[in-house]
Structure 1
Amino acid sequence: MPRRHLSPEEKALWQKLARTVTPLRRIRPVAAAEPVTAEAFAEALDKPRVKGRVPPMRAAAVPPPPRPAPVPVLDSSWEKRIRSGRLAPDHSIDLHGLNLAAAHVRLDRAIGDALAQGWRVLLIVTGKPRPAPAPGETRRRGAIRAEIGDWLARSPHAHRIASVRQAHARHGGEGALYVILRRA
């Protein structure tokens, strides 16, 4: 798409607006770099290097997969219902296709609505955890799943969350979480 140029009226209006703006911080002028001559560059290459042992490069440590949140112990009836898949969520929300900011807002709103309605179990579909990055992969995957534990911990409703558990395979398995809320 070709770039649109401003009309003379738009330029005048923009200049008028630009004169009324004060910068947030003073911009310091950058000193111009001195040009390097070919002789100086060749001389720098010919200088002897410092001798010594070069430490071997360490392999980058692979961080462990992010955990959703601390998991308080629930009573045995809850544990059995979660393991067997008999736990029926009162409400579910799907965060697929949202950016991080929209997903965070939707999650907080859903927890607030669940507390207002008196629901106990929310099913939150986040998508599967981030796999190990493939060589040359630039697309960021699993960002919502990586952030959801922090969001729940910092939520204004954090004191009302009893537990966060991975969902049963019937409800999404690794790609979903149960958020179990405390009674009022």
Structure 2
Amino acid sequence: MAGRRLDAEEHALWRKVTATVRPLHMEPAAGADRTDSSLPPPSPAQAKARAVPETARQRALAVPDRSAAKPAPPPVDTLDGGWDRRLRRGIVGPDRTIDLHGHTLASAHAALEAALASAIAADARLLLVVTGRAPRAGAPGRGLIRAAIGDWLGASGWASRIAAVRNAHPRHGGAGALYVILRRRR
């Protein structure tokens, strides 16, 4: 891609930037030529890194093996198998519904908090949250509410009253909606 030429001020700024950048790969690519005089000479640390054999460098950058480490415990889910079966079959209907289509992230977050407060005050058991489908590949800006809803529910002041979150049955919105199952008051 042909670009415009840099003026003297931009060229000086570019030289300052390139002087502070450390290359990802210490060895020049095959066929590359370092005869460009505008590049600063390698620093002593760069020269030392070039002198280290490739295998030692690979060992230093290798990711530690975590296969022996304990797996993280599964998230605490307080639903029994009967609840999950009824949700999968669509037998249970929502007590309350909130539709977040057309909201901005801020207004959707506020509406979700208000719906949770209302559902908990009414001692509702199942809240249906319609978020819209997850984003399609290559579709920028879609699915932001759906992506953020898990964080919102986890950070909510009502998080201790949420028993579980499940995908909705197709008759209640399918992939575009979620069930938020609330704990009863004790």
TM-score (norm 2): 0.60
Q: 1:159 to 1:52 in 2, by over 3 A?
A: same
Q: How many residues are aligned here?
A: 123
Aligned ranges for residues 156-171 of structure 1 at < 5 Å? 156-171=157-172
Deviation of 1:154 after TM superposition, in Å, equals 0.3
CA distance in 2, matches of 1:99, 1:71: 30
Question: Which residue number corresponds to residue 116 of structure 1?
Answer: 121
Question: Which residue number corresponds to residue 99 of structure 1?
Answer: 104
SS at match of 2:127: strand
**2:29 pairs with 53, 61, 81, which one?**
53
CA distance in 1, matches of 2:99, 2:110: 13
Question: Which residue number corresponds to residue 180 of structure 1?
Answer: 181
Gaps of 5+ in 1: 1-34, 45-49, 55-69
Residues 142-170 of structure 1: CA distance to partner in whole angstroms, max 9, x if unpaired?
11000000000000000000000000001
SS at match of 1:98: coil
Q: 1:106 to 1:36 in 2, by over 3 A?
A: same
CA distance in 1, matches of 2:151, 2:82: 27
SS at match of 1:179: strand
- The amino acid of 1:182's aligned partner reads R
SS at match of 1:109: helix
Gaps of 5+ in 2: 1-6, 16-25, 31-74
Contact 1:126 1:176 in 2 (8 A): yes
Contact 1:71 1:165 in 2 (8 A): no
TM-score (norm 1): 0.61
Question: Which residue number corresponds to residue 47 of structure 1?
Answer: none
Q: 1:151 to 1:130 in 2, by over 3 A?
A: same
Q: 1:132 to 1:74 in 2, by over 3 A?
A: same
Task: Indicate yes or no: 2:122 matched with 1:146.
Answer: no
Contact 1:128 1:174 in 2 (8 A): yes
Runs of 4+ in 1 over 4 A off after TM superposition: none
SS at match of 2:8: coil
What is the Cα-based RMSD across aligned positions, in Å? 2.6
The higher-RCO structure (CA 8 Å, 6+ apart) is 1
CA distance in 1, matches of 2:169, 2:159: 23
**1:129 pairs with 102, 112, 134, which one?**
134
Contact 1:71 1:164 in 2 (8 A): no
